[in-house]
Structure 1
Amino acid sequence: MRRRLRNLVSPATLIPIWSVFFLLFFIDLYFLKLKPILANMTVLSVGNLFETPGCSFPLYNPYHWTIAYHWATVNATYSTYEDMCSARNRTVISQEGGKFTLDPKGLLLAYNATVQSTKCHYSVVSRNETAEIPDKEPILGPARELLFGEPIDAEYVQVSCEASGKLLFTEYFLVPQPKQPPQHADELQLEEPPSSRKMSVLILGIDSTSRINFNRLMKNTHKYIVDELGAFEFLGLNKVGDSSFPNQLPLLSGVSGPDTESLFKRHNFDTFPLLWNTFRLEGYTTLFLEEMPYYGLFTFPNYLGFNLPPTDYYPEAVLRMMDEKGGSDRFCVGSRLKTKVLIRYLAEVLKLNSDRSMFSYVWLSDVTHNNLRGGQDIDQPVEEFFRELSDTGVLENTTVLFLSDHGNRIGPYRRSEIGRHEDKTPFCFLILPKRFMREYPEAVVQLEVNQRRLITPYDLHATLLSLLKLPAIDPQPTNKGINLFGAVPPGRTCADAFIAPEFCACTDTASETPDPGVLLSFSRYAVSYINALATLHFPGKCVQWNLDGVDEASALGGRVAGKVLLRVQLTVTPTAHFEVYGTLRSESFGDKHVDFVQRLDIYSNTTTCLPNNSWQKMCMCKPELLNTTSTSQTPDTLDDNE
């Protein structure tokens, strides 16, 4: 039998067989690098969410089968932060305003101690005003005995309890305290009846939450604020930068992230024209609270923060001290979910100041940052928060801007078509007092129309500034923003709105699939560019990336001024994923330029040898360096705070 087979398969027969084999091998090797060809033939949108001459947003099924795998994976392993916190030793101290109560049964059950044997002390948590960067240096005051049932005059405290010489627990509390109004503001506001008092403003942000994901996970909140509070939902909010800093700074100041960085890289932000400074000059009491101070807008990665407290209520020090433990502990205050504690504190401060004008900027991040399912953990507490503000009359004179800065930016889900769109389209609602709706019907009509227009954080900044001019409605624009109480042109494009191409969510009707050879050449150039940046910023520390495949690609906007804008999504080895935007000269495609690079993986566990800065995403530490930790690393480093 073997002899018969040998006779059948002669050397002459093998030549064409081997030729075909090698041809198929090289074709497969070539197209293995070019996986986008089929992907570009499939568009997952089922129409347009809205359509204007200048911009159309695609409409996606939020439960499309192409992303079902990601949600199934998350669901299979997801445990709520609430469950994680409640599994810890029970919090046995309750707080009502400035008074504290000790729970005898809880104390006995959790710590096997009695009230009689337990002694508790509190220490004031404050900023170290003599430190080089006071925002990064929380300090504790001297310990004082905590007398249960008696009010304390401290604002942010650490409470420690011990029994029989043994420390039982240490917890933190935020105590709402009345503030002295700005000079001359108290007399002005006391002379005014409540109906003519300047409108309070609350900006409540939830980090990393797209419009689609908000509607998936926070359905109760969505239903309440739209159906009961008459919220305007802006479907066309488009981010203007990559991460939190370049999206929140335009909202707070009307200045772009890069311009802010160039101005304040070596200076503190005390003189920066932030919204709370503008409102304070008009007699407002102010509050600034960000849940993740280690990655704060004004200190991460190496900004200098504020020399003096920027607002009247400023719990930065106590929040930073809470987070010093790092790990999963940072989500909890004792057995309480920290986010719920902060929402409760915010509600109490707003009620305490309901008789005066107040500007508040609050950004909640813990449960949604890098967590697709985090929104479900805070749906109920956020809905209850809005209900309480409505029931207690706070919303009768308060405008609420409720929004996010961007969608999920990191992880496998972001590599999908829908995930890319979600990254660029955060949720946004505007809630106005009912009396405003009655008194300014023309502004209400404009808001209704603008719900389906392309808008940006610059526009939201301009809109909030105009509230200071009431009772006049002045729809004048700012340098980059359009007041949403006026008309937003239907022909507005991303370029008109100061949105760079890499962040534009508008459907690109002129997109095309690039020539495979050009595509592969640009992709190799992009990988070389990433390697060069990694070497420049971290010499000797990073692995060398090699192109493994092109997962998706498109040419955006056709050919403009002799150039083609290209987007490629790459897989490299060692395994990582990048999205790269760049330009090619259309004459020869030989002149290549990279405009923007985004890392799509969670990478903090592979960059422990590096200092904190925005270039980490270009690097993976060499294996022999992974066990070393830079002295500037902060606890529980996260990936998308650049």
Structure 2
Amino acid sequence: MAEKRLLLDPSTSESEEPEVHMTRRAGGVLHAIQHRPLPVSRKSVLGLLVSFTFCYFLIGRTGWVNVLDLDVLHSDNYVTVQHQSTVMDVEPEPITETNPSVPKGFLVYSNSCRIMEVDPYKNEVMRHFKRIKYKSCQKLTPLTQVKFEAKSQKYLLSIDGAAFGRYPVGKQLHCCYMSVQRVDEMKVKYTKCQTFKGSILLPDSAEGIIVKCDSGGRQIYINGHATVPVKEAVQQRLRMASEADAKGYQRPPSVLMLGIDSISRVNLIRAMPKTAQYLYDNGWFELAGYNKVDDNTFPNIMAVLTGYNLPNAMHACSPFVVGGLDKCDYIWKQYQQRGYVTAYAEDAVKINTFNYLKKGFKNPPADYYLRPYLSAAESQLDHTTVNGLVHCLGYLTAAEHVYDYGLEFTRRFLNETYFGFFWTNTHSHSDISQTSSMDSYMEEYLRKLVRQGTMENTVVVFFSDHGMRFGPTRATWSGHLEERLPAIFIWLPQHLRRSHPQFVRSLQLNRNRLTTPYDLHLTMKHILAISGRAEMESLGPAPDCPQCQSLLTPVSPQRSCSDVGIADHWCTCWEYDTISSTSKESRMLGKRVVSYLNNYVAEFRNGTFAKLCAPLSLHSIKSAFRAHHNALDPDEVHTYRLIFVTSPNKGQYEATLRHNHTDDSVKVTGSVSRLNVYSGEADCMNDFAAKKYCYCRKKKG
């Protein structure tokens, strides 16, 4: 029986504007309760106001008065989401292990790890959140379209007759297209513009095109189209693998990874409630205790794709050397080597995971690679920016280009085996509110995948790398936890649930256990192993997490962060108490960590940047916390978390430290987080690891 836990009372009908109040439940957690408005007379309202004012001055200002912010409590910001356990359509095999009940208010609860649940609607966050409506990039529908023809096995570019009459076409219309060709990660070139009338079959070499049309001597239309054309080498690989598969068995499952940057589990519920509700209601498996392993996108994605932590990834496939990133054995390579077709797409080319302050790939990393097309689109098409990133790109948002490409890739290879990795940044990277504009779109996108048949034989991972890393919400306690607990849901096809009921049971057990990107890496290897095309042993472990495992097997309920490669600074298992931020010990710890930052920058890359960056000093400590003692730690060692401000850059940082009271040694665990934006402060530094600690002595401009 599905278990439902109501976060908010059911919303009112659209015709009635709900009134929102705040109330406290047991434990002091604020919840928003929506009520239908009741008819109230003016005298009653006046009486209530007089009574409230009298009580206010009689008994003083109470703590809950702080939440009476009408902008914060606007009903449009609150949408009901019900957490619903996965409904199995088959009876699972008996498993002796049981999942002990998790106390209310916790996501994970054991002697080794206790992760608190965050209320999505806490006032400290909601005062910065405002739901944003989706807006189409163009009022007109595109004049051209592309469609793959089964008969010719080619894409047909054609003028859309239905849209034709809406454009200012004179006596004649002249249209041509240019194919986009990759030169390297930073450059593309174009073929000569090929004219066409009505329609034209595109060559297989055209993986992306830019179309231009003019009439009466002026350009009236420009747009781009990405395609997934036939590649003979890919077709041959698919044929050979299919012929080698055991006859009479289900085709091996494909894998589709859909990633959205900077979406915490909580902000998915807050900003994308329709999407979250769809996932809860339709048999997806949530991993509520999924904890990131490092600061930003690159190390967390490398953990998923390679099983390496940041230092070892930098050593094995340095992103600072041309061709360095090509050396790593990415999970999509392992699928490709075993007969799968692969694709990788990511929007916002200037901040792509493998390109921001990095060299990128020397060769295309997958069979189908969207970066060349998006580079051309950002250069050629009309575009707008939101929060410093490309938003509209021609007739679609930049994210929609990626999503459409993913939809087309999975449609084209519906009856084959594929591995697709599709990642978006533009609607989520810089603001907790912006992604709400894509909520209805994403819910419908998931439904399209179902209607297309994609879900019937595809393991789908809907996930993120981390929560919001900077901005006004980040310094709050909610923001601290959200940053470390990204959203993740996994879909298993029905035939896998029937043939492997233990997978279902394992994912149910793992919902409220500590899990990591390394586990997800091993899960992808497990899926490849059950294809029959590889043995799990031959695929290797997660190099930097020997104790990690596939999520299709039950993980230990007694896991700790140290067991699974999570440094104290990123670990959400700690429970903290607030301590004085002005105490002698807090000031001492603050000075020690600032000294650590200065030494880090001075020694970075053998002192290359030492003269470029001004030394920092401690300005103030905003808050300080001490962790409850861990049974595994010596009595003399205590763990602290500080949020502090430095001069002269007014940088706001968060650090986790271990202080040994016997020898007075202090150790900074993990890296130190930068909580506020530092654009323009560190342009002299071109390394992403040290950039957030550098305040350039000389500023550009």
Instruction: Please classify the TM superposition score into its range, dividing by the shorter chain length.
Output: 0.7 to 0.9
Give the AA of the match of 1:604: S
**Alignment equivalent of 1:423, drawn from 483, 505, 515:** 483
1:509/1:611 CA distance change after superposition, 3 Å: closer
1:469/1:52 CA distance change after superposition, 3 Å: same
Shift of 1:292: 2.8
What is the distance in 2 between the residues matched to 1:474 and 1:452?
A: 29
**Alignment equivalent of 2:147, drawn from 96, 118, 135:** 96
CA deviations on 1:160-198 (whole Å, 9 max, x unpaired) are: 233344344543210232333364540442676795211
**Alignment equivalent of 2:121, drawn from 39, 48, 63:** 63
1:465 is paired with a residue of what secondary structure?
A: helix
Give the AA of the match of 2:569: E
Show the counterpart of 1:152: 202
RCO higher in 1 or 2 (8 Å CA, sep ≥ 6)?
Answer: 1
**Alignment equivalent of 1:496, drawn from 550, 563, 570:** 563
**Cα contact 1:122–1:145 (8 A) shared by 2:** yes
**Cα contact 1:232–1:447 (8 A) shared by 2:** yes
**Cα contact 1:127–1:135 (8 A) shared by 2:** yes
CA deviations on 1:140-171 (whole Å, 9 max, x unpaired) are: 22221144333313221122233344344543
**Cα contact 1:182–1:283 (8 A) shared by 2:** no
Shift of 1:512: 6.7
CA deviations on 1:450-509 (whole Å, 9 max, x unpaired) are: 111100011111111111222689998655221122121111000011100010011336
What is the distance in 1 between the residues matched to 2:442 and 2:487?
A: 15
1:415 is paired with a residue of what secondary structure?
A: coil
Shift of 1:531: 4.3
Structure 2, unaligned runs of 5 or more: 1-102, 149-154
Show the counterpart of 1:278: 334
**Alignment equivalent of 1:219, drawn from 262, 267, 273:** 273
Structure 1, unaligned runs of 5 or more: 1-44, 129-133, 629-642
Aligned length: 566
**Alignment equivalent of 2:347, drawn from 291, 296, 300:** 291
Tell which deviates more after alignment, 233-242 or 140-149: 140-149
1:576/1:100 CA distance change after superposition, 3 Å: same
What is the distance in 2 between the residues matched to 1:137 and 1:311?
A: 18
What TM-score does the superposition give when structure 2 sets the normalisation length?
0.74
Show the counterpart of 1:600: 675
**Cα contact 2:357–2:686 (8 A) shared by 1:** no
The 5-angstrom pairing of residues 247-258 of structure 1 reads 247-258=300-311
Show the counterpart of 1:37: none
Give the AA of the match of 1:407: G
The 5-angstrom pairing of residues 30-49 of structure 1 reads 47-49=105-107
2:181 is paired with a residue of what secondary structure?
A: strand
Give the AA of the match of 1:234: L
1:148/1:194 CA distance change after superposition, 3 Å: farther
Q: Which has the higher helix share?
A: 1
**Alignment equivalent of 1:318, drawn from 356, 373, 382:** 373
Give the AA of the match of 2:362: N
Show the counterpart of 1:17: none
Give the AA of the match of 2:301: Q
Shift of 1:104: 7.2
What TM-score does the superposition give when structure 1 sets the normalisation length?
0.81
**Cα contact 1:537–1:615 (8 A) shared by 2:** no
Tell which deviates more after alignment, 541-550 or 591-600: 541-550
| Correspondence 1:210 to 2:264 | yes
Tell which deviates more after alignment, 540-549 or 578-587: 540-549
What is the distance in 1 between the residues matched to 2:141 and 2:504?
A: 48
**Cα contact 1:413–1:419 (8 A) shared by 2:** yes
What is the distance in 2 between the residues matched to 1:439 and 1:526?
A: 53
Identity %: 25
Tell which deviates more after alignment, 405-414 or 265-274: 265-274
Give the AA of the match of 1:495: S
1:418/1:125 CA distance change after superposition, 3 Å: same
1:225 is paired with a residue of what secondary structure?
A: helix
Show the counterpart of 2:229: 177
Shift of 1:557: 5.3
Show the counterpart of 1:12: none
| Correspondence 1:117 to 2:181 | no
The 5-angstrom pairing of residues 386-401 of structure 1 reads 386-401=446-461
1:330 is paired with a residue of what secondary structure?
A: strand
**Cα contact 1:466–1:483 (8 A) shared by 2:** yes
What is the distance in 1 between the residues matched to 2:127 and 2:241?
A: 59
| Correspondence 1:565 to 2:639 | yes
Shift of 1:519: 0.8
CA deviations on 1:351-383 (whole Å, 9 max, x unpaired) are: 111111111111111111112123222222222
Shift of 1:542: 4.5
**Alignment equivalent of 2:445, drawn from 385, 398, 401:** 385
CA deviations on 1:73-116 (whole Å, 9 max, x unpaired) are: xx2xx765x537347x8743344343344457867766x443x4
Show the counterpart of 1:29: none
**Cα contact 1:475–1:485 (8 A) shared by 2:** no
**Cα contact 1:138–1:321 (8 A) shared by 2:** yes
What is the distance in 2 between the residues matched to 1:377 and 1:169?
A: 27
2:107 is paired with a residue of what secondary structure?
A: strand
1:413 is paired with a residue of what secondary structure?
A: coil
1:249/1:161 CA distance change after superposition, 3 Å: same
Tell which deviates more after alignment, 350-359 or 504-513: 504-513
**Cα contact 2:253–2:531 (8 A) shared by 1:** no
Show the counterpart of 1:242: 295
1:461 is paired with a residue of what secondary structure?
A: helix
**Cα contact 1:340–1:381 (8 A) shared by 2:** no
Q: RMSD between aligned alpha carbons?
A: 3.0
What is the distance in 2 between the residues matched to 1:148 and 1:608?
A: 49
**Alignment equivalent of 1:139, drawn from 167, 189, 207:** 189
**Cα contact 1:240–1:498 (8 A) shared by 2:** yes
What is the distance in 1 between the residues matched to 2:326 and 2:242?
A: 26
1:283 is paired with a residue of what secondary structure?
A: coil
| Correspondence 1:508 to 2:575 | yes
What is the distance in 2 between the residues matched to 1:543 and 1:109?
A: 58
What is the distance in 1 between the residues matched to 2:557 and 2:494?
A: 28
**Cα contact 1:567–1:581 (8 A) shared by 2:** yes
Shift of 1:46: 7.6
**Alignment equivalent of 1:585, drawn from 660, 683, 687:** 660
**Alignment equivalent of 1:308, drawn from 344, 363, 368:** 363
2:433 is paired with a residue of what secondary structure?
A: coil
1:604 is paired with a residue of what secondary structure?
A: coil
What is the distance in 2 between the residues matched to 1:53 and 1:205?
A: 32
